[in-house]
């Protein structure tokens, strides 16, 4: 009987203790102590406290004066490149402004062997560099710095954010890193055995390009552009073959230059070739030079007469069809007519491309209009074939 009483008493005591602990824990959970947010007690006016990034400075427990608080605030604010637009994003700092953590505002920077004062805009020192010793080369102050990630990288997640011009800097350029339009390029054709069989005209996609920009570049309907673009995405490629309906004469010329390279070696002993006027005229007419075995020439006078008889001044440039003429005397006359090429589109940054044959025994290739103007004359004309009624 005594043992039974002892067990009952022990059970009651243990049960009471457990219940008291549960009740205490519940009270703590229901009424948690809220820790008061620390705000530095430095005396500031209401306007000073409302300045951008001052709230970040006031998180510190250091003893501050109003002047020190403002100095730290400026150290943080200097890392905001969007302030001139009225935008103040949160900036992560380790010292809450105690130290300057952004150094792109240095007044003196090292560029190669030169020390340059960015505020005064002058060179203050030119160092002598021993080029034979690779370990003695000066390290520039701005090497390895990144202002921000590529803002368009998420749109092209399959490509490394460090690539340039889709790893094709020979045929494509990216002068400003922005979106641009399709760039014409020449691609090689091979058979199943890997043997070279010719080449064709293609368009290399650049950042921001869509089926809509493709339709505009090739002057085709949106349905056809959608189909071409979808096929490119499905194959995992970044370029599109220009349809034969547009590029057949150009593709034939490219293939002949590849497969019969001996005719383009600059020797007068080679078979008769064709010149720029014949190339541009036949491309615009859609006839090509294959039936003439790529041996067809037009004099400037003959070419001019063909233009007057079957072409009009272009009010719209058409990919693969518009003829571009280059005149050296600034007048639209046969005496000053030096060259002709075929229009191949304009990129977003204004670079205009052509298909050009710069000489009788020279391979046809893609050229920028600006380069041709320097070589053949600044006066440029654009011609489209007259539409038959």
Low-confidence ranges of the chain (pLDDT < 50): 144-147, 171
The torsion of the CA quartet 249, 254, 256, 262, rounded to 10 degrees, works out to 150
Residue 343 is predicted with a pLDDT of 95
The Cα 120–Cα 81 span in angstroms is 21
Residue 307 in 3-state DSSP?
Answer: helix
Residue 340 is predicted with a pLDDT of 94
Residue 247 is predicted with a pLDDT of 93
CA angle 368, 372, 373 (to 5 degrees): 115
Residue 193 is predicted with a pLDDT of 87
Q: For the chain, what are the domain ranges?
A: 47-103, 106-144, 165-244, 247-385
Name the phi and psi angles at 218, rounded to 5. Answer: -90, -5
Please check whether residue 284 is in contact with residue 383, taking contact to mean a CB–CB distance below 8 angstroms: yes
HSE of 389, CA atoms in CB hemisphere, 13 A: 0
pTM for the full predicted model: 0.55
* Cα distances (angstroms) measured from residue 210 to each of 52, 82, 159, 240, 259: 40, 29, 16, 12, 34
Residue 82, token pair as written in the block: 């969007």
| Sign for the pseudo-dihedral over CA of 279, 285, 286, 287 | negative
Residue 330 is predicted with a pLDDT of 58
Name the phi and psi angles at 97, rounded to 5. Answer: 90, -5
Chain-centre distance of CA 161, in angstroms? 10
Nearest Cα to Cα of residue 226 among 215, 236, 216, 217: 215
- Match domain 247-385 to its CATH number in 2.30.30, 3.90.1720, 1.10.3470, 3.30.1360: 3.90.1720
Nearest Cα to Cα of residue 205 among 238, 172, 234, 233: 238
pLDDT by residue (tens digit) across 23-69? 666 655 555 555 567 788 888 999 999 999 999 999 888 889 999 99
Per-residue DSSP letter, 325? E
| Sign for the pseudo-dihedral over CA of 153, 157, 160, 163 | negative
Residue 147 is predicted with a pLDDT of 47
Starting at the earlier edge strand, list the strands of the sheet with 323-327: 311-313, 379-385, 323-327, 337-346, 352-356, 365-368
Residue 245 is predicted with a pLDDT of 92
Please check whether residue 346 is in contact with residue 370, taking contact to mean a CB–CB distance below 8 angstroms: no
pLDDT > 90: what percent of the chain? 28
């Amino acid at each position: 009987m005594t043992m039974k009483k002892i067990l009952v008493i022990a059970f009651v005591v243990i049960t009471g203790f457990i219940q008291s602990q549960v009740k205490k824990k519940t009270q703590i959970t229901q009424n948690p102590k809220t820790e008061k947010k620390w705000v530095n007690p430095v005396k500031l006016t209401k306007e000073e406290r409302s300045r951008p990034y001052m709230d970040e400075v006031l998180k510190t427990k250091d003893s501050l004066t109003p002047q020190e608080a403002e100095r730290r605030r400026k150290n943080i604010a200097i890392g905001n490149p969007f302030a001139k637009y009225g935008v103040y994003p949160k900036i992560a700092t380790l010292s809450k402004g105690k130290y300057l953590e952004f150094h792109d505002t240095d007044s003196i920077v090292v560029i190669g062997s030169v020390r340059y004062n960015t505020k005064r805009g002058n060179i203050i020192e030119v160092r002598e560099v021993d080029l034979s010793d690779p370990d003695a080369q000066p390290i520039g102050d701005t090497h390895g710095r990144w202002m921000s990630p590529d803002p368009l990288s998420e749109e092209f997640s399959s490509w490394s954010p460090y690539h340039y011009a889709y790893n094709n800097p020979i045929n494509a350029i990216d002068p400003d890193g922005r979106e641009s339009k399709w760039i014409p390029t020449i691609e090689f054709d091979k058979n199943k055995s890997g043997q070279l069989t010719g080449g064709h005209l293609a368009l290399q996609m650049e950042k921001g390009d869509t089926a809509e920009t493709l339709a505009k570049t090739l002057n085709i309907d949106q349905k056809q552009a959608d189909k071409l673009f979808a096929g490119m995405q499905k194959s995992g490629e970044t370029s599109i073959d220009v349809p034969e309906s547009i590029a057949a004469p150009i593709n034939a010329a490219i293939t002949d230059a590849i497969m019969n390279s001996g005719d383009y070696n600059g020797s007068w002993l080679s078979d008769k070739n064709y010149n720029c006027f014949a190339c541009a005229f036949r491309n615009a007419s859609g006839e090509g030079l294959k039936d003439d075995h790529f041996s067809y020439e037009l004099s400037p006078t003959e070419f001019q007469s063909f233009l007057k008889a079957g072409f009009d001044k272009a009010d719209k440039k058409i990919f693969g069809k518009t003829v571009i003429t280059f005149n050296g005397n600034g007048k639209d006359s046969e005496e000053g007519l030096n060259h002709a090429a075929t229009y191949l589109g304009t990129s977003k940054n204004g670079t205009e491309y052509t298909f050009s044959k710069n000489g009788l025994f020279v391979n046809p290739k893609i050229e920028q209009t600006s380069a041709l103007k320097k070589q053949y004359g600044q006066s440029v004309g654009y011609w489209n074939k007259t539409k038959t009624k």
